[in-house]
Amino acid sequence: MPNQQILVVEDDEDILELVRYNLAREGYQVTLAESGEAGLKALQKHLPDLLILDLMLPEIDGLEVCKRIRASETMNQLPILMLTAKGEEADIVTGLELGADDYVTKPFSPRILLARVRAVLRRRSQPEIRDDDSIRIHDLAIHPGRHEVLVGGERVELTHTEFQVLHFLARRPGWVFTRYQIVDAVHGTDYAVTERSVDVQIVGLRKKLGEAGKLINTVRGVGYRFQEK
């Protein structure tokens, strides 16, 4: 996707240069900022197509930057890819719940970073899926209006809550959702939905969906994502 503009906010000069070099080589237009405050000022001047945001920043940390962006009427739709250190699972969860789209942990492979960048930009460019739109991914078909799930043309019987969890994840393939986000989106009538029970729902879904259950990926320490097409 040449000529798309990306703002990178990172205080480590070596990482900043590594990210800039690899993005520029792929044809992206790259702007750099070395603090949260500088990043916010850059965003006020010009809104890029994507923000790559380190969490550990001087002055204003990445979580606060993310929070301010999502609270802004002019910036709240900006795609955000977080950069995090290994072991910062709590910060990853918080960042996703504040509205970040995805994350990459340090140290990272430039190829992985570029793949995540392309994925976030691609997902953001896709048309909005309505609640009543049918979803087809590989052999799996979800029909919200009929409350029906088919795998290889065969109907799969799901509880109301299992259907809601599956539909919520499948509407945004590739997006990482925390257990709290799933709980917040799904209000079970046949099963008490809590963060702990989300795991039970996922186990049940995978079992009932058979091979298609592998489309639901576990993101260790964070939550779940539905595999992209």
Dihedral sign (CA 122, 142, 222, 189): positive
Q: What confidence tier does 167 reach under pLDDT thresholds 50, 70, 90? A: very high
Q: What is the pLDDT of residue 128?
A: 54
Which is more confidently placed, 196 or 24? 24
Domains of the chain are 5-125 (3.40.50.2300), 135-226 (1.10.10.10)
224 strand-pairing partners: 177, 218
- Segment 35-48 shows an average pLDDT of 95
What is the per-residue DSSP string for the chain? Answer: -TT-EEEEE-S-HHHHHHHHHHHHHTT-EEEEESSHHHHHHHHHH---SEEEEESS-SSS-HHHHHHHHHH-TTTTT--EEEEEETT-HHHHHHHHHHT--EEEEES--HHHHHHHHHHHHHHHHSPPPPTTS-EEETTEEEETTTTEEEETTEEE---HHHHHHHHHHHTSTT-EEEHHHHHHH---SSS---HHHHHHHHHHHHHHHGGGGGGEEEETTTEEEEPP-
Quickly state the pLDDT bin for 183 (edges 50, 70, 90): confident
Across-strand partners of 176?
A: 225
At 99-108, the pLDDT tens digits run 888 889 888 9
Mean pLDDT score, 118-131: 71
- Pick 89 or 68 by higher pLDDT: 68
Question: Residue 216 has what pLDDT?
Answer: 95
Confidence (pLDDT) at 65: 95
Please give the mean pLDDT across all residues of the chain: 87
Rounded average pLDDT over 110-130: 80
pLDDT band at 207 (very low <50, low <70, confident <90, very high): very high
pLDDT at 19 over 90: yes
This prediction's pTM: 0.73
Decide: 211 and 129 in contact? Cβ < 8 Å: no
